[in-house]
Structure 1
Amino acid sequence: MTLYKNLHWFIYILFFFSCARQSAPTGGPKDTIPPRLVRVVPADQSINFKGKSLELTFSEMINLANPKEQIIIAPTIGKTYNVEARNNKVVLDFETTLKDSTTYTFNFRDAVQDVTEKNPARNLRIAVSTGSYIDSMSVEGIAFDILEQKALKDITVAVQPYNDTFSILKHPATFITKTDEDGIFQIQNLKPGLYNIYAIADQNKNLIVDSKSEQYGFKRDSFLLDQNIKDILLGLVKLDTRQLKITSARPYNTYFNIRASKNLKSFSLSAIDGSDVYFSYGADQSNILVYNTLQNKDSTQIKLHLEDSIQNKIDTALYVKFNKREVEPEKFTAKVDKAEVLADKGIFRATFSFSKPLKEIDFDSLRFSIDTSHVITFNQNDVIYDEPTKKLTLSKKFDKNFYQVVEEPTPVQPNIPDTTKSDKPEKPNIENEFYIGKAAFISVELDSSNQTKQSISPSRYEDMGVIIVETKQSPDNTIIQLVDNQGNIIESTIKKSYSFEDLQPSTYQLRIILDRNGNGVWDAGNYIRKEEPEEIFYWEDENGQREIKLKANFEIGPLLITY
Structure 2
Amino acid sequence: MPKFVQKLAFVTFILFISLSMFQRCAQTASPPGGKKDTLAPKIVTSIPLNKSKNYTGKKIELNFNEYVSIRNLNQELLITPNVGTYETRIRPTGVTLLLDSTLHKNTTYTFNFRNAIEDMSERNKGKNIKLVFSTGSDIDSLQISGQVKHLETNKKLESILVGLYPYTDTLRIDQAKPYYFTKTDTSGNYQIENIAAGKYYMAAFNDINNNLVYNSNKEPVDFITQNFIDLKKSETQDFKIALQNQDPLKISKTTSTAKTVLYELSRGVKSIEIQPKNLSYQIESHRNLRFYVGNVEHQDTVRISAIVTDSLNRVTTLALKLKFREPNKKEKVVNTPLRMEVFPASNHLLSPEDSIVIKFPKPIALINTKAISFVTGPDEEIQLPDDAYNWNSFVNELSIQKAYLPLRNRFELKFAKHAFVSVEKDSSQVFTQAFEFQDLENYGSISGSINTPKGKHVFQLIKSDTKALAYQQTGENTFNFPHVEPGLYELRAIEDRNGNGLWDLGNFKTKEKPESIYFFPSKIKLKANFQISDVLISTQ
TM tier relative to shorter chain: 0.7 to 0.9
Change (3 A) 1:509 1:129: same
Out of 320, 323, 340, the residue aligned to residue 322 of structure 2 is 320
- What is residue 196 of structure 2 aligned with on the other side? 191
Letter in 1 for 2:149: F
Letter in 2 for 1:458: F
Question: Any conservation in 1 of the 2:258–2:326 contact (CA below 8 Å)?
Answer: no
- What is residue 552 of structure 1 aligned with on the other side? 528
- What is residue 510 of structure 1 aligned with on the other side? 491
- What is residue 3 of structure 2 aligned with on the other side? none
Say if 2:87 is the partner of 1:82.
yes
Give secondary structure in 1 for the equivalent of 2:275: strand
Per-residue deviation, residues 273-323 of structure 1 (Å, max 9, x unmatched): x6x2011223442x3111111254443222222344667544354331101
Change (3 A) 1:103 1:464: same
Letter in 2 for 1:280: Q
Question: Any conservation in 2 of the 1:195–1:225 contact (CA below 8 Å)?
Answer: yes
Q: Displacement, 1:337?
A: 4.0
Change (3 A) 1:308 1:398: closer
Give secondary structure in 1 for the equivalent of 2:436: coil
Letter in 1 for 2:494: I
Q: Distance in 2 between matches of 1:329 and 1:537?
A: 53
Change (3 A) 1:376 1:538: farther
- What is residue 149 of structure 2 aligned with on the other side? 144
Q: Displacement, 1:402?
A: 3.6
Out of 225, 229, 232, the residue aligned to residue 223 of structure 1 is 229
Question: Any conservation in 2 of the 1:67–1:83 contact (CA below 8 Å)?
Answer: no
Letter in 2 for 1:100: K
Q: Displacement, 1:383?
A: 3.2
Q: Displacement, 1:386?
A: 2.7
Say if 2:158 is the partner of 1:153.
yes
Q: Distance in 2 between matches of 1:252 and 1:283?
A: 19
Q: Distance in 1 between matches of 2:136 and 2:335?
A: 71
Q: Displacement, 1:164?
A: 2.4
Change (3 A) 1:384 1:194: farther
- What is residue 425 of structure 2 aligned with on the other side? 446
Matches within 5 A, 1:273-292: 276-285=278-287, 287-292=288-293
Matches within 5 A, 1:481-496: 481-485=460-464, 486-496=467-477
Change (3 A) 1:504 1:223: same
Q: Tell which deviates more after alignment, 518-527 or 153-162.
A: 518-527
Per-residue deviation, residues 193-212 of structure 1 (Å, max 9, x unmatched): 11111122222112222222
Question: Any conservation in 1 of the 2:115–2:125 contact (CA below 8 Å)?
Answer: yes
Q: Displacement, 1:368?
A: 4.0
Question: Any conservation in 1 of the 2:462–2:490 contact (CA below 8 Å)?
Answer: yes
Say if 2:466 is the partner of 1:461.
no
Out of 55, 58, 66, the residue aligned to residue 52 of structure 1 is 58
Q: Displacement, 1:161?
A: 1.0
Letter in 1 for 2:304: I
Q: Displacement, 1:471?
A: 2.2
Say if 2:506 is the partner of 1:525.
yes
Specify every segment of 5 or more residues in structure 2 that has no aligned partner in the other structure, as ranges. 1-22
Give secondary structure in 2 for the equivalent of 1:294: coil
Q: Distance in 2 between matches of 1:502 and 1:162?
A: 53
Q: Displacement, 1:398?
A: 5.1
Question: Any conservation in 2 of the 1:329–1:445 contact (CA below 8 Å)?
Answer: no
Change (3 A) 1:520 1:446: same
Change (3 A) 1:357 1:401: closer
- What is residue 478 of structure 1 aligned with on the other side? 457
Out of 364, 383, 389, the residue aligned to residue 383 of structure 1 is 389
Q: Distance in 1 between matches of 2:198 and 2:312?
A: 31
Q: Distance in 2 between matches of 1:85 and 1:142?
A: 34
Give secondary structure in 1 for the equivalent of 2:494: strand
Say if 2:168 is the partner of 1:163.
yes
Count of residue correspondences: 505
Q: Distance in 1 between matches of 2:244 and 2:394?
A: 22
Matches within 5 A, 1:176-215: 176-215=181-220
Letter in 2 for 1:270: Q
- What is residue 238 of structure 2 aligned with on the other side? 233
Give TM-score scaled by structure 1 length: 0.81
Matches within 5 A, 1:6-405: 25=30, 27-28=32-33, 29-78=35-84, 80-221=85-226, 222-230=228-236, 232-249=237-254, 251-252=256-257, 254-271=259-276, 276-285=278-287, 287-299=288-300, 300-308=302-310, 313-315=315-317, 317-326=319-328, 333-338=339-344, 349-372=355-378, 375=381, 377-388=383-394, 390-397=396-403, 402-403=408-409
Q: Distance in 1 between matches of 2:325 and 2:67?
A: 71
Letter in 1 for 2:484: L
Q: Distance in 1 between matches of 2:76 and 2:449?
A: 45
Specify every segment of 5 or more residues in structure 1 that has no aligned partner in the other structure, as ranges. 1-14, 404-430
Change (3 A) 1:449 1:193: farther
Change (3 A) 1:527 1:114: same
- What is residue 406 of structure 1 aligned with on the other side? none
Q: Displacement, 1:31?
A: 2.9
Letter in 2 for 1:256: V
Question: Any conservation in 1 of the 2:455–2:477 contact (CA below 8 Å)?
Answer: no
Q: Tell which deviates more after alignment, 327-336 or 314-323.
A: 327-336
Q: Distance in 2 between matches of 1:468 and 1:313?
A: 34
Per-residue deviation, residues 515-535 of structure 1 (Å, max 9, x unmatched): 333433221212232211111
Change (3 A) 1:289 1:86: same
Question: Any conservation in 2 of the 1:25–1:116 contact (CA below 8 Å)?
Answer: no
Per-residue deviation, residues 408-464 of structure 1 (Å, max 9, x unmatched): xxxxxxxxxxxxxxxxxxxxxxx5434445444332222234544433332121111
Letter in 1 for 2:535: L
Give secondary structure in 2 for the equivalent of 1:68: helix
Give TM-score scaled by structure 2 length: 0.85
Question: Any conservation in 1 of the 2:493–2:519 contact (CA below 8 Å)?
Answer: yes
Q: Distance in 1 between matches of 2:390 and 2:37?
A: 66
Q: Distance in 2 between matches of 1:472 and 1:239?
A: 27
Change (3 A) 1:49 1:185: same
Change (3 A) 1:284 1:458: closer
Q: Distance in 2 between matches of 1:329 and 1:242?
A: 41
Letter in 1 for 2:514: P
Question: Any conservation in 1 of the 2:267–2:311 contact (CA below 8 Å)?
Answer: no
Change (3 A) 1:498 1:134: same
Q: Distance in 2 between matches of 1:483 and 1:50?
A: 57
Q: Distance in 1 between matches of 2:242 and 2:125?
A: 31
Letter in 1 for 2:241: L
Q: Distance in 2 between matches of 1:330 and 1:185?
A: 63
- What is residue 424 of structure 1 aligned with on the other side? none
Q: Distance in 1 between matches of 2:446 and 2:334?
A: 47
Question: Any conservation in 2 of the 1:162–1:196 contact (CA below 8 Å)?
Answer: yes
Q: Displacement, 1:507?
A: 1.9
